[in-house]
């Protein structure tokens, strides 16, 4: 898994175009303030150890959220960080597991529409720590 974690004082997204025919219809726009935005790329190798991958991703998300004193997280499937791609069904399940685990410990979690190209704006804060790349 590859994660690009961004601390965003302002985040906005709108579904642009469905790219997986089986994806459900997406609803409207998403807008959040003071959130950790996780651009998540699930790789083929992640399928062999999903539990460990989810646990490590959650640790990184919680760590960065604590640094910026927020409990808001956006999980954004972003298959552009590696040439290796997990099966889309697996990737979506991974995101759902991450969302459930974060919610179970008090986080507010937004997930972007899976199977869509999205139009989005991210205002990333200035500190170096507001931009973190993680390989799991």
Element (H, E) at 39: strand 30-41
Element (H, E) at 55: helix 50-67
- pLDDT average, residue stretch 56-83: 95
Regarding the domain delimited by 2-135, which CATH topology (the fold level of the hierarchy) does it fall under? 3.50.80
- pLDDT average, residue stretch 105-120: 95
Tens digits of residue pLDDT in 6-62: 999 999 999 999 998 888 888 889 999 999 999 999 999 999 999 999 999 999 999
Query: What pTM was estimated for this model as a whole?
Result: 0.92
Judge contact between 39 and 6, C-beta under 8 A: yes
Q: Where are the domains of the chain?
A: 2-135
Q: What percent of the chain has pLDDT over 90?
A: 88
């Amino acid at each position: 898994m590859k994660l690009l974690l961004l601390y965003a004082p302002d985040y906005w997204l709108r579904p642009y175009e469905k790219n997986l025919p089986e994806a459900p219809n997406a609803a409207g726009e998403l807008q959040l303030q003071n959130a950790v935005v996780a651009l998540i790329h699930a790789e083929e190798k992640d399928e062999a150890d999903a539990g460990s991958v989810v646990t490590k991703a959650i640790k990184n998300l919680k760590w960065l959220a604590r640094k910026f004193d927020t409990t808001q997280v956006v999980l954004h499937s972003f298959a552009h960080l590696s040439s290796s791609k997990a099966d889309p069904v697996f990737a979506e399940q991974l995101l759902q597991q991450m969302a459930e685990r974060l919610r179970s410990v008090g986080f507010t979690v937004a997930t972007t529409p899976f199977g869509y190209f999205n139009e989005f704006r991210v205002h990333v804060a200035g500190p170096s720590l507001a931009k973190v790349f993680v390989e799991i």
